[in-house]
Amino acid sequence: MGTGKTDSFEGGAGVVPLAEAFHALDRQRVDIDNRLASLAPDDPAAHKAWQDLQTVVAQLHAAVRDLASAPAANMADLRVKAAILGTLLRSEVGGRGQVIADAERIVLTLSITDDIANLADR
């Protein structure tokens, strides 16, 4: 299974491509979680799946950081960022397990508040 990367989006990336990368990576994370659940712990494929999961989670972290760094140019971008923040918060509350650290969620939250202030000034 290939892993998505956010590297190609760095350097002035727009919110929508970053959000698409986040969603693709999150789908990969869920697929790997499901694959791991079906494997015996001593299955050699489990070790590979854990490595894949570690890579995808690191890329998810990078996607959230990149998204927080990307300013919302308009209300549509702001909605996209808010939807991702909602996804992250619901994953913790819904018992699906916390994948993104509190600090990264806070940085995204602050980015959204900055975006609101900047868009309101226009």
| Residue 27's pLDDT band (cuts 50, 70, 90) | very high
Q: List, in order, residues 6 or more apart from 46 with CB less than 8 Å away.
A: 36, 39, 40
| Residue 98's pLDDT band (cuts 50, 70, 90) | low
CA 122 from chain centre, in angstroms, equals 29
This prediction's pTM: 0.83
Q: Given a cut of 80, is residue 95 above it in pLDDT?
A: no
**Rounded to 5°, angle at Cα 101 from 33 and 35:** 5
CB 9 within 8 A of CB 37: no
